[in-house]
Structure 1
């Protein structure tokens, strides 16, 4: 069982096997003294990510209660570990010359490049090519999506990054400040998005990060709030997860998007983890 993630599966991994292995990793993560990046922490989360991106036909909604509770706990642990990894990397990178040029040293940088490229393709196919103003909710200490989008895809767009954590914004601001052109187009705001109202009308397109709203109720509440205050005809891009990837990130179903017109739902089958759901406010 231990070598499950090393095997090269063409056929889906049996659900019981996958769940057993995920529960085993969860138990090991729970025993850690800290979730800060370390050899042990990195190894456990790498195994978990590799495991959850294997082909599998697991139905998350059909899991027994104890597995559902473990999954909620795991998503929280993943979120905290991801935040600490980003913070450590960002804090380190602002001490070196031109951090913007060294972002590719971040362990999951390649995933972000693929995800941003995919999201831009989906946006373009739905008529969003060079939006004037974009909001990114939950940008964190390492706002890779905004940076990659701004440099490679939306080259004239203005980005407002919202995060509830002032420390995260301070570090992100310092990274962007090392690139004059980028700094002109990128702002960081420390706000709880549930308290942002009229300002949401300014954006042609709003991104909702996967870890904003860690459980179903919170996520639905946030999506409803954004829908209420965003402009008519505005686009919302929500990151979700499907199958075993839902052990890493919360799932957004079509029923959670009431009042929106669903334009596109994309579930990756490569190493990209997040599903992409694109909706429009009528």
Structure 2
């Protein structure tokens, strides 16, 4: 493994090496009895993430069928593990005073701060500055993006966070309730976004988390539904992935964005995992 550990972000690892190691990691992760945080789980996923953020020329669409199937399975496993990690940390933070002052204890906190800063910059460059009301779809038990955005970048914005899991929303509400001013600007709605219709028309900007719609088919349905009900001229920020990062998260391609106006597609080259796709619903 020395070749991976000693590489820096300028060094490209051959695609076949990356794929072979990702398949080995998938096999190990698949055999785990539980995906709850543990030394073994953390170690496997840490290695997987480090491996996938190295530069590589992998084009997911050209991979053989067995690798495609492995990738689909791995994305689901990553999503489950991420949810369990967030839930555990959210419960832990809720047991200590001032949980909002201790968000940096979450292992990927720095990553969320960088991503939120990047997304805010992209939004500002495209005319979205201090929006009155935004939605975050797929906020989870640790709504870090909303919290970081609300406290550092959009200090007067109302955030409506949507998640399908009431347990996730319950612990997220508790974290935010430790700050009265922030709590006033943060709502948590438990619903499948496919059931939310007219309300989507209220937002100047909607964030779509990477793990909402894990299969291509579901992702496209979500995008079509949001486009149908969001306001004309409204902005949708979609998290995607490119290259080896696509072993961790679903990919949204340009041709998936039917009837949207594409504003920006940004692929990070540092330790931020997600690509940022910014689109607008045209005026008709």
Partner of 1:7: 6
Equivalent residues in 2 for 1:212-223, closer than 5 Å? 212-223=212-223
Corresponding residue for residue 179 of structure 2: 179
Q: How many residues align?
A: 281
CA displacement, residues 141-189 of structure 1 (integer Å, 9 cap, x when unaligned): 0000000000000000000000000000000000000001100000000
The 1:203–1:115 alpha-carbon spacing in structure 2 relative to 1, beyond 3 Å, is same
- CA distance in structure 1 between the partners assigned to 2:193 and 2:265 by the alignment: 24
- How much has 1:5 moved relative to structure 2? 2.5
Q: Verify: 1:77 aligned to 2:77, yes or no.
A: yes
**2:56 is aligned with 1:47:** no
SS at match of 1:262: strand
TM-superposed deviation, 1:267? 0.1
Residues 198-277 of structure 1 mapped to structure 2, 5 A cutoff: 198-277=198-277
CA distance in 2, matches of 1:213, 1:138: 10
Indicate whether 1:169 and 2:172 are aligned.
no
Check conservation: 1:268, 1:275, Cα contact below 8 A: yes
TM-score, length-scaled by structure 1: 0.99
Change (3 A) 1:210 1:185: same
Taking the TM superposition and a 5 Å limit, the aligned residue runs for 1:29-44 are 29-44=29-44
CA separation in 2, counterparts of 1:73 and 1:8? 27
Query: What is the Cα deviation at residue 55 of structure 1?
Result: 1.0
Q: In 2, distance between residues paired with 1:18 and 1:226? A: 35
In the TM superposition, residue 11 of structure 1 has moved relative to its aligned partner by 3.1
* Structure 1: gaps spanning 5 or more residues: none
Moved over 2 A (4+): 2-5
Unaligned runs of 5+ in 2: none
Q: Matches of 1:78 and 1:4 in 2, distance apart?
A: 24
Instruction: For 1:121 and 1:168, locate their aligned partners in 2 and report how far apart those are by CA, in whole Å.
Output: 28
Partner of 1:159: 159
Judge conservation of contact 1:4–1:51 (CA < 8 Å) in 2: no
User: Residues of 2 paired with 1:45 and 1:4: CA distance?
Assistant: 18
Q: Give the secondary-structure state (helix, strand or coil) at the position aligned to 2:136.
A: strand
- Tell me how far apart the structure 1 counterparts of residues 154 and 86 of structure 2 sit (CA, whole Å): 23
CA distance in 2, matches of 1:193, 1:82: 20
- Distance apart, 1:7 and its partner CA: 2.1
Shift of 1:215: 1.0
* Partner Cα separation in structure 2 for residue 163 and residue 85 of structure 1: 16
The aligned residue for residue 105 of structure 1 is 105
In structure 1, the residue corresponding to 2:188 is in which secondary structure? Answer: strand
Structure-2 separation of matches of 1:127 and 1:59: 32
**In 2, Cα distance between equivalents of 1:4 and 1:228:** 48
| Alpha-carbon shift at residue 203 of structure 1 (Å) | 0.3
1:142 is matched with which residue? 142
Q: Supply the distance in 2 between the matched residues of 1:130 and 1:224 (Cα, whole angstroms).
A: 26
